[in-house]
Structure 1
Amino acid sequence: MEQRALKKLVESISKTVKSFKKSEVECLIGLYHSLVRRNGRFGNKGLDRNTFRGILFNIFGMTDDMLMNRVFFAFDKDNDNYISAAEWVEGLTVFLRGTLEEKLKFCFEVYYLDGDGYISREEVFDLLKNSLYQQSPEEENDEGIKELVDITLKKMDYDNDGKISFADFEKAVREDTLLLEVFGPCLPEAKNCFHFEALVFRNISSSSI
């Protein structure tokens, strides 16, 4: 990427992303463009879903197909099926340096599958079924999962409307942070974040661009 265009992009992204220094934003954009180039059949449209899933699997240790797809859609804010440089940096802000509030919003967005802003009873069932299947594929029991759904809603559905709103989710997680990824892992483990940062930011000097 031409230096002037890169600097302009870094300046633009740095205005909205405060968790990274400009030099770090530049490194993340450099990595982004090398990943896009490596997968050149898509031209310069951005990171497609398969390439992004490969990153989630190889770098961040994610293995759940359903949740990896949902994480892709949470990164892809404009829903054009490609992750732009800005979407890449903004998503990694949450992954690597997100506050609890940012992680709450991200996880909730991953979990409400139909885009209506609520996690319905059916979605709770599908998410728990998927999560349990990842752990033990041979033990799939719909009745047992329905019981888990009831327990989950009893614990998280504060206004008793049969679905989980963001307010419900936030209240439950603030009372018990273990509930942040209650429906399956959609954030990377700290060790994978540390490894990623060490790898990508290793050549940064103390000065920024």
Structure 2
Amino acid sequence: MNRKKLQKLTDTLTKSCKHFNKYEVNCLITLFYNLVGDAAERSGAVVGLDRNAFRNILHVTFRMTDDMIMDRVFRGFDRDNDGCVNVSEWVQGLSLFLRGTLEEKMKYCFEVFDLNGDGFISKEEMFHMLKNSLLKQPSEEDPDEGIKDLVEITLKKMDQDHDGKLSYTDYENAVREETLLLEAFGPCLPDPKSQMEFEAQVFKDPHEFHDI
């Protein structure tokens, strides 16, 4: 990408991006095109990170291991649902992912956990996600029973209107009381250590981003 284009893109994204300054936006754009590679040069093609490339970044850089959650995070970034994260989705997504306010992170996590997009997190969705994210412990008991119990405990704690599912209001109130519940159904934000490492590396020199 030539300098003029990069400058323009940086300016546009800095304006619409709350949590990064111009230098940081520039570093993230540079990193994006490094990751996408030569595809960026072939104009006309959709330039972006597909699901696999994106999941690889989540896995290697942010130590995520849960396939279902990684898929949901990809959808959270891919705002136009075209199967690719483009450069503006990348910068906007990372702005929230790395530095979002509690308000922004709650909305994002709720969307990740609301698997069918109906505005509620149902018992089935909780069961599905918890079963996926908990390590399988070999034991005599039926592990599904333990997860069902966990769903009931979580509901008791978070379902304030007692309708057997979590609305955004239930979730928000519970998280404001206890922030640990933000990622109650699986890790969908970076842990502080990998976030610091990513920022230290990328904002120093995006060309030297070795981890991927």
* TM-score normalised by length of structure 2: 0.89
1:156 to 145, 155, 158: 158
Residue matched to 1:207? none
Alignment match of 1:107 (pick from 73, 98, 109): 109
Contact persistence 1:128–1:183 (CA under 8 A): yes
> Is 1:16 the counterpart of 2:21 in the alignment?
no
Compute the displacement of 1:136 (Å). 2.4
State the match for 2:210 in structure 1.
none
**1:157-209, Cα deviation, whole Å (9 max, x unpaired):** 111222111111110011011111111111111111111111111149xxxxx
| Cross-structure match for 2:78 | 76
- Once residues 186 and 112 of structure 1 are traced to their aligned partners in structure 2, the CA distance between those partners, rounded to angstroms, is 13
Deviation of residue 39 (structure 1)? 6.5
Distance 1:101 1:198 in 2: 25
Task: Give deviations 1:54-112, integer Å, cap 9, x for gaps.
Answer: 11111111111111111101111111110011110111112221111111111111111
Residue in 2 aligned with 1:62? 64
Give 1:11-160 correspondences, 5 Å limit.
11-37=11-37, 43-132=45-134, 135-139=135-139, 141-160=143-162
CA RMSD of aligned residues (A): 2.0
State the AA in 1 paired with 2:74: F
2:201 match: 199
TM-score (norm 1): 0.90
Q: Which residue of 1 aligns with 2:172?
A: 170
Give the share of equivalent positions with the same residue, in percent: 57
Aligned residue for 1:59, secondary structure, equals helix
Where do 5+ consecutive residues of structure 2 fail to align? 207-212
Structure 1 ranges of 4+ moved more than 6 A: 39-42
Q: Following the alignment from structure 1 to structure 2, what is the Cα–Cα distance between the partners of residues 44 and 37?
A: 13
Equivalent position SS for 1:192 = helix
